[in-house]
Amino acid sequence: MTAEKSDLLQGTLDLLVLKALAGGPLHGLGVSRRIGLITRGAFEVKPGSLFPALNRLEENGWVAASWGRSENNRRARFYALTKAGQKQLASEEREWTRVATAIGLALEST
């Protein structure tokens, strides 16, 4: 399942980005790789949707961007979760779990 084929819901992408950043600040490519990692390769986020999503989250005040140095000492733009972002992540996780449980129950029933 790739992002381009399974037309990722915007909300899902935002949730994934927030979750990826929960482990600490990352630059754009880092976010995309981290998502690949934590979903075990299920989602591959293309830059064409990643960067707009990062911009959107930043404008919403959930992540903050700043320039820093990458692991191999290149100048890169790093994104970090803000307080509001942590709260947003928590509430979205709860919501997602609730929906997933409900759908899981629905699918298990005969």
Partner 1 sequence: MAVPPWVRLPCLARNLFRRERVERDLEDELASAVEMLAAENVASGMGPEEARREARIALGGVQQVKEAVRESRTGAGLETLWQDVRYALRMLRRSPGFSAVAVATLALGIGANTAIFTVLDATLIAPLPYAEPSRLVMLWTGYREARQPRVPASGHEVLEIRRRSRELAEVAGIWVGAGSLTGEGEPERVRLALTTSNFLGIFGVPPALGRTLLPSDEGAQRPSIVLSDGFWRRRFGGDTAVIGKAVRIDGGLATIVGVMPAGFDVVFAGDSSVPPGIEIFTTFGRDLAEMPRDMGWIRMVARLAPRATPASAQAELSAIAERLRAEFAEYATPGLELQVVPLHADAVRDVKPALLALFAGVGLVVLIACANVANLLLARATGREKEIGLRAALGASRGRIARQLLTESLALSGLGALLGLVVGRLGLAALLALRPASLSRLAPSGLSWTVLGFTLLLAVVTGIICGLAPAVGASRRDLSRALQEGGRGSASLTGRTRPQRVLVFVEVALGFLLLVGAGLLVRTFVSLSGADPGFRPEGTLTLQVSAQGGRYPDDASRRRLAKTLAANLAALPGVEAVGAVSHLPFDDYPNWYEYYWREGASESEKNTAMADHRAVLPGFFESLGAELTQGRGFTDSDDANHPNVILVDETLAKRTWGNESPLGKRLNVSFIHEGSFDSTLAEVVGVVRHVRYRDLGLDGRGQVYVPFFQSVRPELAFTLRSSRGTRADAARLAGPARREVARLDPDLAVSKVRLLEDYVRQARGAARFTTVIAASLAALALLLAGIGIYGVLAYTVAQRSGEIGIRVALGGRPKDIAWLVLRQTVGIVGAGLLAGLAGSLVMTRLLQKLLYGVGPRDLATLAAAAAVLAAVGLAAALIPARRAVRVDPMIALRGE
Q: What is the three-class DSSP state of 56?
A: helix
> Within 63-102, which residues bind partner 1 (CB under 8 A)?
65, 67, 70, 72, 74-77
Chain centroid offset of residue 55 CA: 12
Q: How far is the CB of 47 from partner 1 (least distance, A)?
A: 5
The first and second tokens of residue 17, run together, are: 């980005």
CA-based torsion, 89, 90, 95, 97: positive or negative: positive
- Tell which one of 22, 25, 28, 86 touches partner 1 (CB under 8 A): 28
61 binds partner 1 (CB under 8 A): yes
User: Which bin fits 104, alpha (ψ -120 to 50), beta or left (φ > 0)?
Assistant: alpha
- Tell which one of 16, 26, 27, 34 touches partner 1 (CB under 8 A): 27
List contacts with partner 1 (CB under 8 A): 11, 14, 27-29, 46-49, 51-53, 55-56, 58-61, 65, 67, 70, 72, 74-77
